[in-house]
Amino acid sequence: MKKPAAAPTKDAPLDAALVEALARIAAEHDLSEAEVEHDGLRVRVARERRAATVIHAAPMAAPVAASAVAPAAPAGEESGTVKSPMIGTAYLRPSPEAKPFVEIGMAVKAGERILLVEAMKTFNDIVAPHGGVVTKIFVEDGTPVEYGQPLMVIA
Amino acid sequence: MRVRRHEVLDSTSDEAFRLAQAGERGPIWVVATEQAGGRGRRGRAWASPPGNLYATLLLTDPGPRARLHELGFVAGVALADALAEVAPGADVGLKWPNDGMIGPAKAAGILVEATEFGGGGGGGATACAIGIGVNVASHPSGLAYPATCLAAHARAPRVEATFGALATALDARLAQWRGGEGFSAIRDAWLGRARGLGRPIRVETAKGALEGAFAGLDATGRLLVADGDGESAVESGDVFIAADFVRARISEDVGT
């Protein structure tokens, strides 16, 4: 289970401890979600299947209630969804000036490159796990992605 | 150690992936005397005249896919080992995640790329190309950062000796990494060579710039930047350390 280091803010010790405790409870009881409200502070931890508990490092002084929520998969995930095999930055095109690898409505073959995920200057091709037509793209060029986050749908 | 040598290639990493597509599983090195299409991060060009080293190591399934980014650190530490051997006494260091530095200038670069064969979704094999360029005889000028070459720091450095030192060092560091199990030792070795620790840095990411003090690496290798409000972990971006970062800001201010 990989967990990004929490960014300590002035209020962080309490928040981080709460999130940790919730994550532990959620993991132990195999819950997909755990939520607690205490002194006006609401913390929710969401887990995706058996994937790692995703806890975002609180960016600066962002409210914990928002930052502790994992990027949830769209409700009732569609079949044909391609997910990120790693944490990183997703790119839709090989270089800023180039054409995107795929666009909505485009037909792709299994094994064709559809996206790049950069993790610490390592560039990972994401290839289509099956053939079909790209019906949805969930990420923008240059956006951070988490492990298991839906990237696009090939129907 | 298997090595394939070429006079001219588009890029040694492109050739490595062509070999992988044709069934080559490595480990094998692809070396070129010069490159017509040397590449850096995000499609940037890597100047590749004869006299410098252009080499790619092709590996198949070197470790779990989610840990492949650690190879950038493995290769970085090996590169620093090799530079220190070829240019004894030079001030060798690493700029996050894996630029090879001598003094304040870049002497070598690394680009790690991975792709999947035989069906996506984790079912196939992962081919991984570790591309390394070392400025041996010459270096480009007019870049956004200072550059140097081994010839400025060692007497008559040779491409062949540089490649030998690099291949030996990378072999040893890959053995130390053990598919990810030994990453903490690699991380420690990297921190021992780190440029700019504790100093002001600027990181330019696809989503904007960040400034603060370089506070170290987290357990996965992400760059930690500290400012008044706390620490942020960065996993992709271009890093500018003190001197070059001030220079970059000055050129911004004058609108160039």
User: Could you tell me if B120 lies within 8 Å of chain A, comparing CB atoms?
Assistant: yes
Inter-chain residue contact B222 with A4, CB threshold 8 Å:
yes
Would you call A87 an interface residue with chain B, using a CB distance cutoff of 8 Å? Answer: yes
Give yes or no: residues B165 and B47 share one domain: yes
A chain contacts of residue B68, beta-carbon cutoff 8 Å: 86, 119, 122, 124
Residue A121 sits at the chain B interface (C-beta within 8 Å)? yes
Examine the domain organization and report whether B119 and B224 are in the same domain: no
Domain boundary among B138, B165, B192: B192
List the single residue in B42, B69, B232 with the smallest CB-CB distance to A122. Answer: B69
3-state SS, residue A23? helix
- Which residues of A fall within a CB distance of 8 Å from B56? none
CA distance A62 to chain B (A): 11
Q: Which residues of B touch A132 (CB under 8 A)?
A: none
Q: Are residues B171 and B234 in the same domain?
A: no
- Which of B11, B17, B42 to probe the A interface (max A CBs under 10 A)? B42
Stretch A1-29: mean pLDDT: 52
pLDDT value of residue B241: 84
pTM of the model: 0.78
Q: Are A8 and A108 in contact (CB under 8 A)?
A: no
ipTM: 0.87
Q: Does B135 touch chain A (CB under 8 A)?
A: no
What pLDDT, on a 0 to 100 scale, did the predictor assign at position A30? 52
Q: What is the mean pLDDT of residues A10-19?
A: 52
Helix intervals (H) in B146-182? 159-177
- Verify that B159 and B206 share a domain, yes or no: no
> Residue A126: closest CA among chain B residues belongs to which residue?
B115
Q: How many CA atoms lie within 13 A of B136 on its CB side?
A: 25
Q: Are residues B37 and B129 in the same domain?
A: yes
Question: Any CB–CB contact under 8 A between A147 and chain B?
Answer: yes
Measure in Å the smallest separation between the Cα of A114 and chain B Cα atoms.
Answer: 11
Q: What is the CATH number of the domain that holds B63?
A: 3.30.930.10
Average confidence (pLDDT) over B186-200: 95
Give the residue from B139, B159, B192 where a domain finishes: B192
Q: What is the CATH number of the domain that holds B208?
A: 2.30.30
Indicate whether B106 and B231 sit together in one domain: no
Q: In whole angstroms, what is the distance from residue B55 CA to residue B33 CA?
A: 9
Domain match, B69 and B178 both: yes
Q: What pLDDT is recorded for position A66?
A: 37
Q: What pLDDT sits at residue B252?
A: 53
CA distances from B206 to A96, A138, B229 (A): 10, 17, 22
- The number of folded domains in chain B is 2
What's the average model confidence in pLDDT over A109-130? Answer: 93
Who among B72, B121, B123 is closest to A122 (CB)? B72
CA B97 to chain centre: 7
Nearest CB partner across the interface for A87, out of B110, B113, B235: B235
Selection from A5, A17, A122, A115 nearest residue A59 by Cα: A5
| Range with the poorest average pLDDT among A67-76, A95-104, B89-98 | A67-76
A86 and B68: CB-CB below 8 Å?
A: yes
Nearest neighbour of B218 by CB, restricted to A5, A61, A128:
A5
Q: What range defines the domain where residue B215 resides?
A: 200-254
CB of A52 within 8 Å of a chain B CB? The answer is no
Which of the four pLDDT bands, split at 50, 70 and 90, describes residue A10? very low
Query: Residues A13-40: what's their mean pLDDT?
Result: 57
CA distance B232 to chain A (A): 6
Mean pLDDT across B47-65:
96
The pLDDT of B11-19, averaged and rounded, is 97
The answer to whether residues B155 and B245 belong to one domain is no
Same domain for B125 and B242: no
Q: Verify that B186 and B229 share a domain, yes or no.
A: no
Q: Which of B192, B209, B224 is the last residue of a domain?
A: B192
User: Cβ of B252: how many Cβ atoms within 10 Å?
Assistant: 9
Q: What pLDDT sits at residue A71? A: 47
Model confidence at A63, in pLDDT bands (50, 70, 90)?
Answer: very low
Contact A56, A68 (CB under 8 A): yes
Confidence bin at B253 (pLDDT 50/70/90):
low
Residue bearing the bigger pLDDT, A16 or A62:
A16
Question: What percent of chain B clears pLDDT 90, i.e. is strictly above it?
Answer: 78
Q: Are residues B101 and B148 both part of a single domain?
A: yes
Return the residue in A1, A54, A83, A122 with the most chain B beta carbons within 10 A, the one to mutate for interface testing: A122
A142 to B110: CB separation less than 8 angstroms, yes or no: no
pLDDT at B24 over 60: yes
Same domain, B121 and B226: no
What tens digit of pLDDT does each residue of B206-227 get?
A: 778 999 999 999 999 999 999 8
Residue A26 banded pLDDT, cuts 50, 70, 90: low
Say if the Cβ atoms of B231 and A8 lie within 8 Å. yes
Question: Which residues face A82 on adjacent strands?
Answer: A152
Please indicate if any CB of chain B lies within 8 Å of the CB of A86. yes
